[in-house]
Amino acid sequence: MTGHYNCGGIRAALGDTDHGQIDNWLAYIKDVLKDNHAEISALPTEQEQVDRLCELNVICQVSNVAKTSIIQNAWRKGREVTVHGWVYDLKDGLLRDLKVDISGPDQIHEAFRIK
C-alpha cells in the first residue's frame, strides 16, 4: 500500500465540507480519523494532521489487505507474500517505509484469521 503526504483526499476527510459522492469514499478515512482522534487532534498544525492521517490510513489499509481471503489463502498455500506500507513525499521524491510489514497470519488478530 502506498499513500502520499499532503493528500487532498485526506485533507478533505479532516474537514466537514460536502463533497458529494466522494464523501462515501472519505468515510473510510474518517473511520481512521475517528480511531486515532486523540493523536491527530494533538498535532499543532493542519499540515501535520494531514500527513499523520496519510500514514495512519496506509497502516490501516495494510491491515485490511492482510485480512483478505486472497492474502490469507496465499499464506496457507505456502506463498511468501508481504504487505508493505509506504508513503511517498512529493517534496523530496522519497518513498518512506512505515515499517508495518505483514507477512504472515500470526501478525493479524486471530478474530480475522481464516482457517
Residues in Cβ contact with 1 at an 8 Å cutoff, skipping those fewer than 6 apart: 58, 61, 62, 65, 83, 84, 85, 86
As measured in angstroms, the least distance from the Cβ of 13 to Zn ion is 10
Stretch that binds Zn ion, among 3-11, 64-72, 84-92, 103-111 (CB under 5 A): 3-11
**Cell numbers placing 53:** 492521517
Stretch that binds Zn ion, among 4-12, 64-72, 85-93, 106-114 (CB under 5 A): 4-12
Eight-state DSSP code of residue 27: H
* Neighbour-count burial of 58, counting CB atoms closer than 10 A to its CB (0-12 exposed, 13-18 middle, 19+ buried): buried
**Contact pick of 1, 5, 7, 63 for Zn ion (by CB under 5 A):** 7
Stretch that binds Zn ion, among 5-13, 23-31, 81-89, 99-107 (CB under 5 A): 5-13
Residue nearest to Zn ion (CB): 7
As measured in angstroms, the least distance from the Cβ of 27 to Zn ion is 16
**Ramachandran region, residue 52 (left: φ > 0; alpha: ψ -120 to 50; beta: rest):** alpha
Nearest-angstrom CA–CA distance, 55 and 3: 7
- Residue bearing cell 496519510: 54
* x-or-dash string of contact with Zn ion, 8-47, rule CB under 5 A: -x--------------------------------------
Per CB under 5 A, residues contacting Zn ion are 7, 9
